[in-house]
Each structure stands twice: as C-alpha cells, then as structure tokens.
Structure 1
Amino acid sequence: MSLINDLLSLHLSDSTENVIAEYIWIGGSGKDLRSKARTLPELVPDPHALPKWNFDGSSTGQAPGEDGEIILYPQAIFRDPFRRGKNILVMCDAYTPSGEAIPTNKRFNATKIFSHPDVVAEEPWYGIEQEYTILQKDIRWPIGWPVGGFPPPQGPYYCGVGAEKAFGRDIANAHYKACVYAGINISGINGEVMPGQWEFQVGPVVGISAADELWVARYILERITEIAGVVLSFDPKPIEGDWNGAGAHTNFSTKSMRYDGGIDVIKNAIKKLSLWHKEHISEYGEDNERRLTGRHETADINTFSWGVGNRGASIRVSRDTEKAGKGYFEDRRPASNMDPYVVTSMIAETTILWKPT
C-alpha cells in the first residue's frame, strides 16, 4: 500500500506537460454523479476550448442500447484536489450526437434563463446551504448512532463540539479544504441539528456558476466519503420521527434588491413566489413532502408563508435585511437532493422575468 500511496502522490508536472482532466456529469437519475478521466497534452484554462467527449448512455440510464452514445460538453473547470498539480475537474452537460440536450441536462434550459438580458442586468447572487447526512456503509445508519438504536434527542448537536456531539468532522473539514483548493466559493461549514448531519454553503456566486459549483462540491464530497468508507445521503428526511430533515436553503439577491429601497423589490419577488408555490414545490426535490411538514424548522408543503427571521416559513427575510431596507431573502423550501440548475433558474425566472397580469 505504501507504494500505491507513493504513486498517487506523484507530481506529474516534474516530468510532463500532460494534464489529467476528470470529466464530471449528472447521471440518469438526475441526482447521481458520474466521471471519467482523460489525458490532455497541456493545461487548457477555457472550458469551451476543451475537447468534447462521449460516454455510454445505455449504462447510465440516459440512452437506449442500440444508440447509446452521449456527448459531453465541458462547461466549467476546477482544480483537482485529489490529483493536484495542474490536473483539473471539468463539469460537463450532456447532448445527443446531433446536439440536442438530453432530458437530464437541466443546465441547458437554465442557461437560457441566465443569459436573458433582464436576468444578466440584475446580476443574481445565490448562496446555497447544502445539508447532507453521513451514513455507516453496511447498515446505512447515521455515523455516531448506536447500531439499531438512537442517540439522545436533538439539542446539543447543532454546531456542537465533542465526541458525543460531532460525528464526521474530519470528513466535513476535508471537504471544506478540498473545495477551497478546487476554487469553489465555499463560504463555510457547520454541524447540523441531527447528529451525523452537516452543512456546507456555496456562495455568494452569480448566476449559473452557483449551480456548477454546487454540483462539483457534491462530487468532491462523494469522493471523500468514498475514501472514508462511508455513505453520503442527500435524502431530505433520512430518519423518520422527531429528527430534522435535510434541505438546500437557497439565498437569493438581485442588484435591485441590494440597492436602497430593495426591500420593496424583495416583497414583490416574494409575492410572485407565493403565486407559483405549487410549481416551485414540484421542482424542489424528490420526497420533499416527508421533510416539509411544518415541524423541525420547515413550513408545511401545501402552504406558502414568509416572515422576518422565521425559520418555520417558506421564505425567510433576515433581520439585517429588514433593518437595512435591502439585501436578500432565503427560500427554505428546496430539499437537499434538489437540482441547483433547476432551483436557481426557476427563482430567477419567477422573480425577474415573470410579469403577472
């Protein structure tokens, strides 16, 4: 094993200009991540100058066996925290050989919304709070929990410290540093209310880049939990009963919201969101009804609400925003397994582009 570790630690730049690029894409479930590596003759800083590639879509649930070739289009580049050096991670989206976006390519439609002149002019900022749960591999039970049993009730675990309160800190910290190395705008981490559950925040990031960065941050976390021999879960309600679920609270701000008088723009945006509540909920993650019960810091899935400082509302406006009269709001409805391409573009479309009659 020591020789394997030595080989893994080789610095390729000492002997070659070649670069290893790990191409990443979203699989057939719309939630799973896939990747494979290729060698490039040199570092290419522009993703659109990278070569397109293909994969067997019949093996990922994205194409029939008789016509399985799917084409990867590179869209964003990050430093590779696993191979390091000049090596890169490449976030891609997927198309048929004729150039049509496949059904799981949600980035394609998001690009249309984020490239609209009205959206570009508003410079939409996103801060996404990604919650996740770490499970023991063989029994799929949260780490730190007694096998077949439960820890003491929630209370001491949120941002907790100590062997009986914080389970999985090394994984969360390894992920934090790896994201910083990769060039992801990760703004923080914390232990969550349910033991064995953590959160990282990506943002503020403008437009579609927020979704690119969140997907790559998820990929890095999957790789780290793979190394650690534990299972990563984005289930919005991993444990039934009196335990918090897992969300992906999405903070949002436009240029108009950030200027003086922005609170009125925020209230108008919230009004629009209230009118499209069911449409948003339908796209905010699978099994979200198990999480949005009106308990455990959530609003009921069927009822739209908003409030200042209220973590039990659909939309929360911070006290600082209320005091300043400008700023941002937090959409607390998205589930932890939501597609950030869908959620970020939908919020922009509803609040910026939609004109109620």
Structure 2
Amino acid sequence: PQGGYYCGVGSDEVFGRPIVEAHLDACMQAGLAIAGINGEVMPGQWEFQIGAIPAPAVADHLWVARWLLYRIGEQFNVSATLDPKPVRGDWNGAGAHTNFSTVTMRNDYDACVAAADALGAKADLHIANYGDRIEERLTGEHETLSYKEFRWGVSDRGASVRIPWQVARDRKGYIEDRRPNANCDPYVVTRLILDTVCSAATGS
C-alpha cells in the first residue's frame, strides 16, 4: 500500500498538515530548536526534527516538543502516538533517528567510522534501551535492519547506523543511529551514545 505520502503534497496524499504546522509554530514560539518537519511513508505519519544542539539539551527540547504535540492534538480532537509500529502490515514503523557528532568526528572521517564500530560493539545494550517493542519495528523490512543484527553503511537506510554520503565525500561530519524508536527515552539514548562512542575514543 506504499504511496506518495513521503514528503507528499495534495489532499489525496497528505493528512494532518494543520496539526503539524500548528505544532511547528508552537515549538518555535517556545524557543525550541526545531529544525524541520516532513510527511512520512505512512498516511498521517509525520516527522519533526530537533537540533542540532548539545546533549542533554536536545533531550529537553524533544521532551517539551512531544508535550506540545499532545496538547496541539487536543485542539484538533486527535491523539498523537509514538507507537513504534502504529499500523500492522506493509507500512514503515516510527523511529527517532538520531544524528550526532563529536568535535573529532566533525573534523575526521576515521572518527565517524570508529563511532559506528563502537556502537556495533555494544549493539545489544543499545537495542535493549532504545524503546519499548523495538522488535516490532526493526524487522529487516521497511528501511530497517533486524534488531538481532548490526551493520553500518554509507548512505544505507537499511543499516543500523548510516553514514551520509556527503560525510564520506567530505571525510568528516556526523553519523545517524537509525535504531531508536519514536517512543524512546531521549535522555537514555543520548547518554548511551555518548558513553559508548566517547569511551571507545578515549580507551576508557
């Protein structure tokens, strides 16, 4: 049933835009670091991006943005959900793809690769803390890799961790952990990423 919903336009493909734009306005008025919105693969599914700002502030901003989403939904008699698999069947789940970098990564591609490798070395720990019912979303289908596996790749949306193509080209930048669920605790996710990547980088 996949259609033209991702970044779609037109009333036959887009549902809920007034809610999303009201949420965007509320986040901006609240001074949150909201960076964008887009329609997602499933009809009525939307994404908003928070950042780029340091941890733990990024988790603070996401937490408040979620609260605002629920409150805005009340005004439209709609209940927003962070369910990782809101609709069963041939539909994408809902994730909290997490882009991050360190100062070293922003200047050295080898540090980006090392960060991806470090996440792989502690894959089980991260999966166990990346959101409830993660196995329903990370199935190996719908732009995911199975929660039982780990791999990273350049421009690979089916990997656990993606290195954007321009990062590989520029030999510096950031990486994206695609495993966290939409219902994850952002404080736990950011702490785990920092602990894993920085501990590996410093040998501690």
Q: TM-score range by the shorter chain?
A: over 0.9
Structure 2 CA distance for aligned equivalents of residues 244 and 268 of structure 1? 29
Of Structure 1 and Structure 2, the greater strand share is in: 1
1:164 offset after TM fit, Å? Answer: 1.2
1:340 aligns with: 186
- Gap regions ≥5 residues in structure 1: 1-152
- Cα-to-partner distance string for 1:210-231 (whole Å, 9 max, x where unaligned): 0000000001001000111111
Separation in 2 of the partners of 1:170 and 1:200?
Answer: 14
Q: Which residue of 2 aligns with 1:293?
A: 139
CA separation in 2, counterparts of 1:170 and 1:356? Answer: 49
What CA RMSD, in Å, does the superposition of the two structures yield over aligned residues?
A: 1.0
The AA in structure 2 aligned to 1:190 is N
Residue in structure 2 matched with residue 230 of structure 1 by the alignment: 78
2:46 maps to what in 1? 198
Provide the residue aligned with 2:8 in structure 1: 160
Any gaps of 5 or more consecutive residues in structure 2?
A: none
Alignment partners' CA distance in 1, 2:130 and 2:145: 14
Partner of 2:120, secondary structure, is helix
Are 1:281 and 2:122 matched, yes or no? Answer: no
Looking at CA atoms only, which structure, 1 or 2, has the larger radius of gyration?
1
Which of 19, 23, 30 aligns to 1:175? It is: 23
Equivalent residue in structure 2 for 1:318, among 158, 164, 171: 164
Deviation per CA, 1:183-224: give whole Å up to 9, x if none: 001000000000010000000011100000000000100100
- Report deviation, 1:356: 5.6
Q: Which residue of 2 aligns with 1:50?
A: none
* Other structure's SS at 1:205 match: coil
Of the two structures, which has the highest relative contact order with CA contacts closer than 8 Å and spacing of 6 or more?
2
Distance in structure 2 (CA, Å) of the matches to 1:296 and 1:271: 23
Moved over 2 A (4+): 353-357
TM-fit CA distance, 1:155: 2.3
The residue aligned with 1:258 is: 106
Amino acid at match of 1:251: N
Give, in whole Å, the separation in 1 of the partners of 2:123 and 2:106: 24
Give the match for residue 154 of structure 2.
Answer: 308
Amino acid in the other structure paired with 1:197: Q
1:17-56 superposed matches below 5 A: none
> What residue identity is the alignment partner of 2:174?
Y
- 2:180 matches 1:331: no
Give the distance between the partners of 1:169 and 1:239, measured in 2 at CA.
19
Aligned mates of 1:207, 1:170 — CA distance in 2: 30
Tell me how far 1:254 sits from its aligned partner. Answer: 0.5
TM-score, normalised on structure 1? Answer: 0.56
What is the CA-CA distance between 1:154 and the residue it aligns to? 1.3
Instruction: Please state if 1:211 is matched with 2:76.
Output: no
